[in-house]
Structure 1
Amino acid sequence: MIQRETTTDVPEATDLPSIIRPYGDTTGDAMVQMSFTMPVPAGKRAELAALALARQMGLDPASVVHAKAMGPHFTFFIVYGKVNHLIDYAGIEVPEGREYPLLPAKEVDLAIRTVLKRRLVVVGACIGTDAHTVGIDAILNVKGFAGEKGLEYHREIQVVNMGAQVTVEELLERAKAEDADAVLVSQVVTQKNAHIHNTKQMAAAFHAAYPTAVGPGMGRPLLIAGGPRFDTVTEAELGVDRIFGKGTTPAEVASYLVHALLPTWTPQEDS
């Protein structure tokens, strides 16, 4: 059974406003608020530096509405000002949604049981120094996320959750030991692009260890990366098969596993 998604009426492009400005106090006043930290001690000179930065970024006039010392050598600012930029709202192209149907749990299990004829094995972990397991737990643990139960809920999916701060070597070794069909890695820590570096390192290790094509019984596990800050890179750049961003639910991941690993499965139509 395909879970049909309800949609709200979306205005046609011709009904959308063409040119828009940000909204601050009144519609179209082009006022925006931004925050940042500068490596200078709090004081008048620091506030003038913040205003100089704001003007270079296109805020004019601008004012510092909040400044707070962050230790002896740093200051946090909130700046409010007017921008002179216009946005062609009607001309913005919206990326297409997912290319596969969202399947209910029963159909995911039916597909695996029918096509794979064994349990589908998923190994998940937070790699590198990342200790934030909320994301990976939301997808894997039976408690799930947003009212949906995690992959552990599926009778036909065997889940191995390795937890946090797992090295690439440990993940690769466990994936081989479990004969994993898919590997899910979660990355929340993004300082100095650690999430990108860690994921690329993981992908490179798996590509080297599994030189053959992805797929059950064919070679490399399906590589899936998830986290809130992967919107600046593509799957090809990371070397993974799929990127899931913030707000992803377990059903989306489970449906993708069927789509990617069991391509011969035809979703069951509503009866």
Structure 2
Amino acid sequence: MKQGKEQVRPYGDTMDDGAMQLSFTLPLKLDEMSCEAARTLGEQMGLTDVGVTYSRDLGQGFSFFIIYGKYTGSVDISKITVNKVECQKMKKEEVDQFISAKFGRKLNILGACIESDAHTVGIDAIMNMKGYNGHKGLESYHEMNAYNLGAQVSSEDFVAKAIEMKADALLVSQIVTQKNVHLANLTKLTDLLEAESIRDQIILVVGGPRITHELAKELGYDAGFGPNTYAEDVASFVVQEMARRDKK
């Protein structure tokens, strides 16, 4: 297929070669048969020139595979629409100036990994003073009182703390997503906020590797942030959304 500016396909060694790599686990012990099963799966996915480039025995009848192949199709990016957070990204200093000018007080921001989730890497990157990858966390913002409540915080405790601290925004991190447990956790939190009649008074944000803005909105959140998100992304949205609500 002759590709125009809007048609793209995977790139490996040369432009438009369609080369791609996939990894997955099969419930089979590692042997010649399971390797061929992995290769055949690649062909059934529409790949050509499929080969198993890496395999590993995981024990107890499971094996991990990486396959390499070529895809002959393409994607028309002109037909793609993305539901994303709409706000002007500001630097840390600009956020502080915005808060001072618009609200005249410090904002109370609470963050936590709720329910069964014990993985704090995401919420720590957003909340903690040192932040992540050179991006300072919300604790370093002069016009924010940022409280990181940590891991496995029950939704009931999170809501109670939000009421106690008169929170302006709640930041939720969900890393654990097996069997879609994050959907149940996130829904439980919005239900409790609604039951306490404070949902409309709080900016509610969720982040995680499988979180999209579209999913967050469907679950009743104001915004959803996926990978490659930093504190200033979240802070910019929170303060601008608060200002937008104040104008109503």
Shorter-chain TM-score range: 0.7 to 0.9
Give the whole-Å Cα distance in 1 for the aligned partners of 2:34 and 2:178: 25
Corresponding residue for residue 239 of structure 2:
258
Q: Where does structure 2 lack aligned partners over 5 or more consecutive residues?
A: none
Q: Which residue of 2 aligns with 1:126?
A: 113
Distance 2:66 2:181 in 1: 27
Matched, 1:167 2:154: yes
Q: Specify the alignment match of 2:228 in structure 1.
A: 247
In 2, Cα distance between equivalents of 1:60 and 1:171: 51
TM-score if structure 1 supplies the norm length?
0.79
Q: CA deviation at 1:258?
A: 1.6
**Alignment partners' CA distance in 2, 1:259 and 1:77:** 45
The runs of 4+ residues in structure 1 deviating greater than 6 Å are none
Cα distance in 2 for partners of 1:27, 1:98 equals: 32
Q: Does 1:31 align with 2:19?
A: yes
Residue number among 69, 72, 81 corresponding to 1:81 in the alignment: 69
Q: One-letter code of the match for 1:167? A: S
TM-aligned CA deviation for residue 131 of structure 1: 1.7
Which residue of 2 is the match for residue 5 of structure 1? Answer: none
Could you say what the CA RMSD is over the residues aligned between the two structures, in angstroms? 2.6
Q: Would you say 1:144 and 2:131 are equivalent positions?
A: yes
SS state at 2:20 partner: strand
Q: Which residue does the alignment assign to 2:184?
A: 197
State whether structure 2 residue 2 is matched by structure 1 residue 21.
no
Work out whether residues 170 and 202 of structure 2, in 8 Å CA contact, stay in contact via their aligned partners in 1: yes
Q: Displacement, 1:168?
A: 0.7
What is the aligned length? 245
Q: Relative to total residues, which structure has the larger strand share, 1 or 2? A: 2
For residues 87 and 264 of structure 1, the distance between their equivalents in structure 2, rounded to whole angstroms, comes to 39
Q: Give, in angstroms, the shift of residue 135 of structure 1.
A: 1.6
Asked if the contact 2:109–2:145 (Cα under 8 Å) also holds between the matched residues in 1, the reply is yes
The Cα offsets for residues 208-231 of structure 1, whole Å up to 9 and x where unpaired, read as 2226x62xxxxx311110112113
1:222 correspondence with 2:210: no
CA distance in 1, matches of 2:111, 2:65: 39
Question: Alpha-carbon deviation of 1:95?
Answer: 4.0
TM-score (norm 2): 0.86
Paired position in structure 2 for 1:113: 100
> Given that residues 111 and 262 in structure 1 are in contact (C-alpha distance below 8 angstroms), is that contact kept between their aligned partners in structure 2?
no
Identity %: 40
1:116 Cα offset (Å): 2.9
Deviation track 1:74-100 (CA, whole Å, cap 9, x = no partner) reads 1111222232322334x2546487533
Equivalent of 2:217, from 233, 236, 240? Answer: 236
* Greater mean deviation of Cα atoms: 19-28 or 156-165: 19-28
Structure 1: unaligned runs, 5 residues or longer:
1-15, 215-219, 267-271
